[in-house]
Amino acid sequence: MQGTLGEVAGDAPVTVLDVFSPARPLPDAVRASLEAVKAAQIAARERARREMWQARAVVGGVATVVIIAGLVGWPHVRAWKTARAASAAAALHARVAAATRTEPPAPVATAPAPGGLLAAGVADLPAMKESPAATAGVASLDACRDSYQGKRWRTAATACAAAFNAHPDDAKLALRVAEAEYARDHLPEAREWAQRTLALDAKQADALAILGRSEQRAGHGEAAARAFRRYLALAPRGWHAAEARAALRDPHASARRAVPRAASPAGQSGKRDEDVAPPPAVIEPGATAPAAFDPASPAAPAAP
């Protein structure tokens, strides 16, 4: 039995005859059959091993080809994409330039005077100057933005109104004028600019809040209620929803708040018009949720 185990060591499969020696010698036919089965098993195992290595070689070759193709072809693909993006950007720039180009006026044919441009050999035309209205509009926009962000309300009202004249379809400029006028206690102007904002964009809820407060402080209870109802319809959870509901619940609130704050005589107040606190409708970028409208705030009327 020791010799049998030593003989079958290796890759040959172990059979029952290798472990347990028969008590009697097997017939030659049985032994030949067992040897044939063992040879077939060994051949099958060798074939499976060859097929496995062949599959590994095929997979490794395909992976190598893909990697080499990627390393060689990727720079070409990237250059093609870059060229395509550059050509698209150039075409877009050309279309924009063609759309915004201003054709110069046709020259009037006149007889050249002696000693004129033709006689001197000068053919250059004077350079076109930028329109003064366009320059003033850009300056007004910058002044409006800077003064509005700095809460200089008198300057903001003037600059934003000038910018609105240059851009009469911009509802946000009209809203900024309304907020600046309300901060200065100019209720008729604030009401007018709020209505102008709503005429351009009926979904400006802040304009409705300014309109409602202006009408309320002017003693126009019905107009204030209409403005606050429209505000709640647009922004039921807006910044000023609590104030609007309180004004609608208390019909006499407008009568109590109708008396506007008395303006300080010139020279008796240390505050400038620009230093008035911002209106409650102003929401600066990045600011947290504002508190509810406080009647005792500087922008509210004095309590009777």
DSSP-derived secondary structure for 193-218: HHHHHHHH-TT-HHHHHHHHHHHHHT
Residue 140 pLDDT: 82
Query: Which of 20-29, 36-45, 130-139, 179-188 is predicted least confidently?
Result: 130-139
CATH number for position 187: 1.25.40.10
Q: Residue 245 domain-assigned?
A: yes
Q: pLDDT digit string (tens) for 34-75?
A: 889 999 999 999 999 999 999 999 999 999 999 998 888 888
Asked, for residue 285, whether it belongs to a domain, the answer is no
CB 217 within 8 A of CB 260: yes
- For the stretch 90-126, pLDDT in tens is 888 787 777 776 556 655 555 545 444 434 444 444 5
pLDDT beyond 80 at 237: yes
Q: What is the pLDDT of residue 280?
A: 44
Query: Which range of residues forms the domain containing residue 212?
Result: 173-261
| Among the ranges given (85-94, 122-131, 215-224, 281-290), the one the predictor scored with the smallest mean pLDDT | 281-290
Last residue in a domain, options 82, 117, 141: 82
Give yes or no for residue 84 having a pLDDT over 70. yes
Q: What is the pLDDT of residue 67?
A: 92
Three state DSSP letters for 135-164: HHHHHHHHHHHHHHHCCCHHHHHHHHHHHH
In a domain, 182, yes or no: yes
Check residue 78 and give its pLDDT: 85
Q: What is the pTM of this model?
A: 0.44
Domain boundary among 64, 82, 100: 82
The DSSP H or E segment spanning 90 is: helix 28-100
In a domain, residue 76? The reply is: yes
In a domain, 268, yes or no: no
The pLDDT of residue 125: 44
Helices 205-217, 171-183: inter-axial angle, 10-degree rounding: 30
Task: Supply the pLDDT for residue 70.
Answer: 85
| 90 lies in some domain | no
- Whether residue 140 lies inside any domain: the answer is no
Interval 249-298: pLDDT, tens = 875 554 454 444 433 333 333 344 444 444 444 443 333 333 333 433 33
pLDDT the model gives residue 91:
84
Task: Specify if 156 maps to a domain.
Answer: no
Give residue 103's pLDDT: 57
Q: What is the mean predicted confidence (pLDDT) over 151-164?
A: 93
* Structural domain count of the chain: 2
Exposed, middle or buried by CB within 10 Å (0-12, 13-18, 19+), for 298?
Answer: middle
On whether the CB atoms of residues 258 and 159 are closer than 8 A, the answer is no
Predicted local distance difference test score (pLDDT) of residue 106: 59
- Tell me which of 132 and 202 has the higher pLDDT: 202
More confident residue, 229 or 8: 229
Average pLDDT, rounded, for the chain: 74
pLDDT at 299: 37
Mean pLDDT across the stretch 176-201?
Answer: 94
